[in-house]
């Protein structure tokens, strides 16, 4: 019977990881999967996280079920982390967060909810978008449509084309997916003016925003990165926010994220919350506990929180210095192409504009691994490989 299964091609990032592991070249470079690495190329446990884990192991007295919506302490902290503690939505009791298995779990619950609200509802996503967005949405039964976003010639945003397309095609009641910051895969984000314009359009057209916030804190800071999201959240009647703590706490495998629901009123929020719980109950029932307890332990303890903030700042600063370091090396190699995209794009990812041929050449000839679409993970760069990577990229940048 199983031979009838129609298997979707596995996410090429995961097969890339496998190919990297089996490559015997000692100077191979992994710029593939989006995890933060330190200068030595390791993915370490953050100090604040380690300390929180030690406390949790020492203090935990029960492994009883956590409940469908997850850890209460974590759920209370997420709205403040996303929106700032003094945001109007919190005062109005119009936002509630549910702990989910990673940001991916939040997106899955969000899509299942949309399908329950309006079967076959259209979800608009950017071109391109994270490789998992479209499969999650279509598997939930949603119709996915795409809006223009990244312009190859400028390696930047095509905002006018995006708005024109949405104006011409998005229907009242459709859902609009936006990346809060550090757009995956392009690194190209909306400016605050553009967030305002999109917010006005969302209100005017009657769209439901679904914001994916997987990299808060990895570009300019925990507050700065979500200024656009905060603006939008203060103005729209309803919204879904899928957030992940995988990156900003470096707890990828602990599967820690949240789905935050924004409703018109406290009463509607309660009904929306119950609908989300129904979807979760027949899916994974309850989220795992550990990662959320780690996050809440760090955030609730001022000393641990300070350590975590300093560590996150170091991560961000290292990304920024790798961006400018790569750019200045390319300039020193007299690359004629405009390299400003390297320092303009935000967060871990940069869309190089490389063709599949370039990507293949860099992997085969230089042992440099990147996603098939030419996305590189800037955090894969370090003092040991940045010169070699610059030299190899210079050979292919046009
Ligand atoms: N959304 C985007 C844009 C991502 O890049 C990721 C990546 O890892 C996720 C969501 C999911 O994160 P998580 O690992 O927490 O499921
Ligand atoms: O885009 C990335 O590299 C990260 C990590 O199925 C990731 O989002 C990649 C693929 C995947 C899960 C996470």
The ipTM (two decimal places) reads 0.96
For residue 103, the CA-to-ligand 1 centroid distance in Å is 5
Domains in the chain, ordered, with CATH?
Answer: 12-46+304-395 (3.90.1150.10), 65-300 (3.40.640.10)
Q: Residue 10's pLDDT band (boundaries 50, 70, 90)?
A: low
Bridge partners, 375 (sequence order) = 351
* pLDDT attached to residue 105: 98
Helix pair angle (72-83, 290-300), 10° resolution: 60
Percentage of the chain with pLDDT > 70?
A: 99
pLDDT at 1 exceeding the cut of 90: no
Average pLDDT over residues 153-167: 97
Burial (0-12, 13-18, 19+ Cβ within 10 Å), 161: middle
287 Cβ closer than 6 Å to some ligand 1 atom? no
Q: Which residues line ligand 2 (CB under 6 A)?
A: 11, 13-14, 33-34, 130, 132, 184
Q: Which of the four pLDDT bands, split at 50, 70 and 90, describes residue 49?
A: very high
Q: What pLDDT sits at residue 7?
A: 73
- 323 Cβ neighbours under 8 A, 6+ residues apart: 342, 343, 345, 350, 378
Determine the average pLDDT of the residues in 135-139. Answer: 96
Substitution candidate for ligand 1 out of 32, 215, 244 with most atoms within 8 A of CB: 244
pLDDT at 17 over 90: no
Q: What is the per-residue pLDDT across 178-200, written as a single tens digit (0 to 9) for each? A: 999 999 999 999 999 999 999 99
Q: Whole-prediction pTM value?
A: 0.97
Closest CA to 317 of 185, 219, 187, 214: 219
- Burial class, 292, CB count within 10 angstroms (exposed 0-12 / middle 13-18 / buried 19+): buried
Task: Quote the tokens at residue 153.
Answer: 């010639």
Structure tokens at 4: 């009838």
100 lines ligand 1 (CB under 6 A): no
Percentage of the chain exceeding pLDDT 90: 94
Cα of 14 from ligand 2 centre, angstroms: 8
Q: How far is CA 348 from CA 83, 215, 323, in A?
A: 22, 8, 9
Q: How far is CA 228 from the centre of its chain?
A: 15
Strand 175-179 vs strand 208-213: parallel, antiparallel, or unpaired? parallel
pLDDT tens track for 237-287: 999 999 999 999 999 999 999 999 999 999 999 999 999 999 999 999 999
* Cα separation, 177 vs 212, whole angstroms: 7
Q: Tell me what the mean pLDDT of segment 323-333 comes to.
A: 97
Average pLDDT along the chain: 96
With the most atoms of ligand 2 within 8 angstroms of its CB, the residue from 8, 17, 132 to mutate is: 132
């Amino acid at each position: 019977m199983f031979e009838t299964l129609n298997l979707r091609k596995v996410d090429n990032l995961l097969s890339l990881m496998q190919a990297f592991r089996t490559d015997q070249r000692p100077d191979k470079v992994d710029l593939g999967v989006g995890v933060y690495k330190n200068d030595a190329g390791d993915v370490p446990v953050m100090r604040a996280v380690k300390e929180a884990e030690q406390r949790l192991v020492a203090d935990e007295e029960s492994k009883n079920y956590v409940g469908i919506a997850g850890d209460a302490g974590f759920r209370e902290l997420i709205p403040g982390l996303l929106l700032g503690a003094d945001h109007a939505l919190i005062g109005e009791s119009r936002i509630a967060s549910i702990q989910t298995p990673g940001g991916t779990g939040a997106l899955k619950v969000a899509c299942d909810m949309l399908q329950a609200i309006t079967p076959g509802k259209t979800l608009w996503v950017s071109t391109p978008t994270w490789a998992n967005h479209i499969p999650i949405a279509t598997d939930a039964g949603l119709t996915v449509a795409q809006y223009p976003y990244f312009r190859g010639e400028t390696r930047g945003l095509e905002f006018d084309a995006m708005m024109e397309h949405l104006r011409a095609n998005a229907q009242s009641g459709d859902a609009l997916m936006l990346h809060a910051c550090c757009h995956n895969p392009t690194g190209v984000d909306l400016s605050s003016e553009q967030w305002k314009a999109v917010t006005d359009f969302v209100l005017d057209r009657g769209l439901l925003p679904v914001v994916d916030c997987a990299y808060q804190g990895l570009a300019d800071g925990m507050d700065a990165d979500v200024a656009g999201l905060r603006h939008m959240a203060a103005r729209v009647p309803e919204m879904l926010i899928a957030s992940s703590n995988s990156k900003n706490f470096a707890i990828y495998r602990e599967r820690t994220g949240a789905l935050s629901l924004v409703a018109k009123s406290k009463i509607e929020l309660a009904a929306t919350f119950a609908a989300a719980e129904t979807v979760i109950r027949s899916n994974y029932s309850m989220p795992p506990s550990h990662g959320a307890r780690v996050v809440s332990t760090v955030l609730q303890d001022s000393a641990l929180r300070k350590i975590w903030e300093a560590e996150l700042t170091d991560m961000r600063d290292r990304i920024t210095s790798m961006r400018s370091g790569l750019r200045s090396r390319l300039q020193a190699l007299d690359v004629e192409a405009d390299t400003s995209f390297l320092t303009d794009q935000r967060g871990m990812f940069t869309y190089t504009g490389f063709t599949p041929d370039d990507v293949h050449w860099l992997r085969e000839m230089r042992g440099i691994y990147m996603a098939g679409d030419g996305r590189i993970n800037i955090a894969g760069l370090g003092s040991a490989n940045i010169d070699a990577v610059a030299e190899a990229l210079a050979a292919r940048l046009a």
